[in-house]
Each structure stands twice: as C-alpha cells, then as structure tokens.
Amino acid sequence: MLFVPHANCAFFKAAVPKASSMGRNMSNGGTGEASFREIILRDPLSDVTRKERSYSLGISLAGIVMVRTDLVPSRITTLGITFQETDRKTLFFLVGLVAAYFLVAFVLYGIADILRQRAAVEAHRVTTFRAQELRAQQRDDMWELESIGVSRAYDRLVVLVRLVFEYLLPVALGAYAVAVLLNRALPL
C-alpha cells in the first residue's frame, strides 16, 4: 500500500505542480487547471528518470547480448589489450555492476515520479471528483454517476498498461541482465 499524503501536507503541496506549469486547459474554460485525464495520462517519468531508464536498458541489452552470443572482445588492438578467460569474467562482472547501478537509479527515480503523480491525482480527486459526485447525487443523476465510474476505470487501465510498459518491463529486463551477467562472471 502506498502512502498518499493529505492535501494540507507540505510534501503534497510541493509535489503537485502549479497549474501554470501544466499549460492552459480549454476544457476547463481556459482556467489553466489540468483535468483529471490530463493529470493521469501525463508522462509519468521525469527527464532524469527517462535518461536512467535509457542507460539501464542500453547496458542491460548489451550485457544480455554479450552473455547469450559470447560476443566479448578478445583484444583491443589500438590499446594493445588482450583478454584472457579470467579477464572476460571480470568484464562480465563489471558490466553487471554497471547494469545494477543504472537499474537501482532508475527504480529510485521512478518511485519518486510515481509518488509525485499519485499526489497530483489525489489532489485533483479530492477537489474535483467529490464535487462532481455531490452534484450528480443532488440531481439524482445515476447516468452521470455511472459515467464517472466508467471513465475512472478506463483511465486506470491506461495508467496500469503504461506502468507495466514504462516501468516494470525495464526493471524486469534490467534484473534479468544483472542476473545473467553476474552468473556468468561468478558461476555458483
């Protein structure tokens, strides 16, 4: 269970971006406030997290290719370096450590981004959805209540698919790469 701070919490106010930084939203009458759909479908990863993910995916893919194809340089002629079998194991170990570093960095930055987005969603939900539900209940408009629920379910599905694609899949690939690289370097 993730902790979602209360709307009056200092962390919560700092984590939720100001309306002016989100651009103007004409669906809200040009008030500059983002709609729930804009908040929840906004890019969940920051630029720093995306860079860490790119580095993690790149080194993970290179490591997996090295292990699965046994494509390791035997010598670098420009530097006059020749790799023996023990040197190859050291290379696998070092690439595994680098892959682990970028994986951990991506996970840490990604968790912060996910918490930031959840805080923004919670802030919007508290202020907007409760007002919509109260208006619909006062009018006794069951159709509007059902459409609010369907819209929320669809948005949650999109967010879940993006979470799997943008976060969980790179983490799984990175963990697999670290495992195969370190297993090759340090066989049990």
Q: Has this prediction a pTM greater than 0.85?
A: no
pLDDT at 49 over 60: yes
SS (H, E, C) 7-61: CCCHHHHHHCCCHHHHCCCHHHCCCCCCCHHHHHHCCCCCHHHHHHHHHHHHHHH
pLDDT at 131 over 50: yes
For 62-110, write each residue's pLDDT tens digit: 999 999 998 877 777 787 777 776 678 888 999 999 999 999 999 999 9
What's the average model confidence in pLDDT over 150-176?
85
